[in-house]
Structure 1
Amino acid sequence: MPIVSSKGKAMPESPIRKLVPFAEKATKEGKHIYHLNIGQPDIKTPAVAMEAIRNHQLDILAYSHSAGFESFRKKLTIYYAKHKINVTTDDVLITTGGSEALIFTMGSITDPGDEIIVPEPFYANYHGFSTQSTIKIVPVISKIENGFALPSIEEFEKLITKKTKAILICNPGNPTGYLYSKEEIKQLSKLAIKYDFFLISDEVYREFVYDESEHYSILQEKGLEEHAIVIDSVSKRYSMCGARIGCMVSKNKSVMQTAMKFAQTRLSPPTLAQIASEAALETPESYYTDTVIEYKSRRDILITKLNEIPGVKVAIPKGAFYCIAELPIKNAEHFSKWLLNEFDLNKETVMLAPASGFYSTPDKGKNQVRIAYVLNKEDLTKAIEILKFALKKYND
């Protein structure tokens, strides 16, 4: 009997989605589930994007250029300029989501067995992308006690080898919500230049920063032009997760020319989704402002309610719309399954994302969960009340 590949066997399950069968079973049993497990925004997609799809004049749904529409890339350079990032259309490659941008990046800068250093906990799919690219993620551990701040540069230097090709960060962070400061970005930039490797920054949550903080992109850092690669996406910014449109941005010509070969191999990014995404760039500034205000108010409610639960420890996120919470339990995955399989409060329960899947260090994050505060404030409040009751019953 033919067998699957070793790579296929090594491909990790998504900690966000692997509990879906349990949720489907719970739904069939008549339970209402509050989904705290996945970052699917409930904010409406900008009307201008939806109208662009409804009103398109295409007679043939044809391929686009492998790099994406030139008009779209041009408008993206204008968008970036507003954020003090100066790039040209040649520095932008449209991809099928930020996921493809990361896959293209890893394919362009690494060979099998190479290493990328990543502060953990980190976006769980970095595991999958690295497995697909046959490279190794080397974790440097950040801690909930200091809000998942950047580990010391000395900790990074201990991990650098001849196989190190990059440091990868998510800024603001998924799953922690941590926002790297300008000084922290400068420290990482100096390290990338000193050891002559790449600094990759996943910046898909750029707009979502709170408490009068400011986002500082690695593309703003002078002298880092040959080392900086940014991953971006419309998914969260415009609540367009299903569009699957992202981009890879770098001033390194060799990297972009190499990535273009990967882009040509997959032919082109989706045409209709590019039409919607290009139109979304015309979204009024008030959309971002209102969205940030809404997410901040949700964050404040979530943190307040979590801090009222005995034994819970939580780091206050400064950006994105996630937080990591440490629960008074031993095994968050077992607890998350129990919530769906065996528990309900008046036929309602919650779905969480066990945080161990966001770590690569064994036994880390086992009593932690990632919570996405993408529910409206009323549902979010109800969900945490259910969680509080569930924790007491579980531990009893």
Structure 2
Amino acid sequence: MPSISKKGQLMPQSPIRKLVPFAEEAVKKGKSIYYLNIGQPDIKTPKIALQAVKDSKIDVLAYSRSEGSETYRQKIANYYKKHDIIVEHDDIIVSTGGSEALLFAFGSIMDVEDEIIIPEPFYANYNGFSTASGVNIVPVISKIEDNFALPPIEAFEKLITPKTKAILICNPGNPTGYLYSKQEIQQLAAIVKKHDLFLIADEVYREFAYDGNTHYSIMQESSLENNAIVIDSVSKRYSMCGARVGCLVSKNKNVIQTALKFAQARLSPPTLAQIASEAALETPQSYFDDVIEEYVERRNTLINELQKIEGIKVAKPKGAFYCIAELPVKNSDDFAQWLLEDFDVDGETIMVAPAGGFYSTPGVGLNQIRIAYVLKKESLIKAVNILKEALKVYKD
């Protein structure tokens, strides 16, 4: 029999999606599930974006430019200017989701066996992207006791080798909800300048900053003109996950020219989704004000309910819509599967994301889960109650 590639064998399963078959089976058995495992907002997509697709007068659904339409990129640049990020449209390459933008970045700046330093826990698909690119992740652990703040900069310094090409952060963070401060960004800026590295920031949750905090982009650091690469997406900002439109942003012309070659190889980003995404840029600030208010209430509800459960430790998010909770169990993979297969409260159960898959260090995070608070407050209260009752009877 023909063999599967080593890369394919090493490709990790998604900790977010691998439990889907168990959830589907639970539904077939008549259970209702509160889905806390995936960052799919229930917030409605702006009508202006959906209407733009309906109103489009397209006779031929043609390819767009490989870097994305010029009008859309110009409007993205104007959007960034409103956030004190000064870039031009030709500093931007539109991608098929933020995922493709990150793959473009990896392909443009790293070769096989090169290294990238990432604070963990991190977005689980970073493991997959690195495997697909033949790149090695070098983790630096942030701790729940510190609310997942940036690890000491000395910890990064110790990990830098001749193979190190970049540091990658997610800000605000998935899965932690941590929002890096301006001071922390400047510490990272100093170390990448010192060692001539790239600093990649996944900023898809930029709008979601709470408690009076504001997001500070790596693109606001003028010293990083040749070092900064931003990954962005419309998925969470406008509740348009299915659009699959993102972008790579950098003022380093060599990065953009190289990433464009990868973009040309896949031809173009989706045309209709670009139309929707361009229109979404006209979404009024009131939309975001309402969304942020809703997420803050959901976060507070979730954290308050979790803190009532004996044995649970939880970090309080400053942004995005995720949190990490540490449970009194040995293996959250087994626990999450058991919740779907063998447990319910009045026919209802929950689906969570085991957090071990958000680390690359073996054995770390096995007693943690990621919760996405993308459900209404009433549903979150019911979901946490199910978790509480489950922990009373679960045996490792």
TM-score tier after normalising by the smaller chain length: over 0.9
The whole-number CA distance in structure 2 between the counterparts of 1:393 and 1:349 is 14
> Within 5 Å, which residues of 2 pair with 1:243-392?
243-392=243-392
* TM-aligned CA deviation for residue 135 of structure 1: 0.6
* TM-aligned CA deviation for residue 3 of structure 1: 1.0
The whole-number CA distance in structure 1 between the counterparts of 2:170 and 2:382 is 30
**1:72 matched residue in structure 2:** 72
Give the aligned residue type for 1:136. N
**1:36 matched residue in structure 2:** 36
Give the aligned residue type for 1:108. S
The whole-number CA distance in structure 1 between the counterparts of 2:317 and 2:80 is 24
**1:202 matched residue in structure 2:** 202
**1:139 matched residue in structure 2:** 139
What TM-score comes out, normalization by structure 2 length? 0.99
The whole-number CA distance in structure 2 between the counterparts of 1:332 and 1:5 is 29
**1:126 matched residue in structure 2:** 126
What TM-score comes out, normalization by structure 1 length? 0.99
* TM-aligned CA deviation for residue 160 of structure 1: 0.1
For residue 200 of structure 2, give the secondary structure of its aligned residue in structure 1: strand
Give the aligned residue type for 1:183. Q
Residue-by-residue CA offset, 1:296-328 (whole Å, 9 max, x unaligned): 000000000000000000000000000000001
Residue-by-residue CA offset, 1:248-307 (whole Å, 9 max, x unaligned): 000000000000000000000000000000000010110011000000000000000000
**2:47 matched residue in structure 1:** 47
Q: In the alignment, is residue 88 of structure 1 matched against residue 91 of structure 2? A: no
**1:104 matched residue in structure 2:** 104
For residue 248 of structure 2, give the secondary structure of its aligned residue in structure 1: strand
For residue 86 of structure 1, give the secondary structure of its aligned residue in structure 2: coil
The whole-number CA distance in structure 1 between the counterparts of 2:222 and 2:252 is 13
Residue-by-residue CA offset, 1:210-235 (whole Å, 9 max, x unaligned): 00001000000011100000000000
The whole-number CA distance in structure 2 between the counterparts of 1:141 and 1:30 is 41
For residue 223 of structure 1, give the secondary structure of its aligned residue in structure 2: helix
Give the aligned residue type for 1:188. L
* TM-aligned CA deviation for residue 393 of structure 1: 1.5
**1:232 matched residue in structure 2:** 232
Residue-by-residue CA offset, 1:357-382 (whole Å, 9 max, x unaligned): 00010110000000000001111111
The whole-number CA distance in structure 1 between the counterparts of 2:331 and 2:132 is 28
The whole-number CA distance in structure 2 between the counterparts of 1:50 and 1:185 is 36
**2:23 matched residue in structure 1:** 23
The whole-number CA distance in structure 2 between the counterparts of 1:328 and 1:110 is 40
Give the aligned residue type for 2:352. L
The whole-number CA distance in structure 2 between the counterparts of 1:69 and 1:274 is 8
Give the aligned residue type for 2:28. K
The whole-number CA distance in structure 2 between the counterparts of 1:198 and 1:90 is 19
For residue 112 of structure 1, give the secondary structure of its aligned residue in structure 2: coil
The whole-number CA distance in structure 1 between the counterparts of 2:154 and 2:197 is 16
For residue 222 of structure 2, give the secondary structure of its aligned residue in structure 1: coil
For residue 223 of structure 2, give the secondary structure of its aligned residue in structure 1: coil
The whole-number CA distance in structure 2 between the counterparts of 1:127 and 1:349 is 29
The whole-number CA distance in structure 2 between the counterparts of 1:328 and 1:356 is 15
**1:5 matched residue in structure 2:** 5
Count of residue correspondences: 396
**Over 3 Å off, 4+ runs:** none
For residue 2 of structure 2, give the secondary structure of its aligned residue in structure 1: coil
List gaps (5 residues or longer) in structure 2. Answer: none
**1:176 matched residue in structure 2:** 176
Give the aligned residue type for 1:205. Y
**2:166 matched residue in structure 1:** 166
* TM-aligned CA deviation for residue 112 of structure 1: 0.3
Residue-by-residue CA offset, 1:52-72 (whole Å, 9 max, x unaligned): 111110000000000001000
Give the aligned residue type for 2:306. L
For residue 180 of structure 1, give the secondary structure of its aligned residue in structure 2: coil
The whole-number CA distance in structure 1 between the counterparts of 2:331 and 2:133 is 30
Q: State the Cα RMSD in Å.
A: 0.7
For residue 138 of structure 2, give the secondary structure of its aligned residue in structure 1: strand
The whole-number CA distance in structure 1 between the counterparts of 2:205 and 2:48 is 21
The whole-number CA distance in structure 2 between the counterparts of 1:260 and 1:228 is 17
Give the aligned residue type for 1:15. P
Give the aligned residue type for 2:274. Q
* TM-aligned CA deviation for residue 44 of structure 1: 0.1
Give the aligned residue type for 1:383. A
For residue 394 of structure 2, give the secondary structure of its aligned residue in structure 1: helix
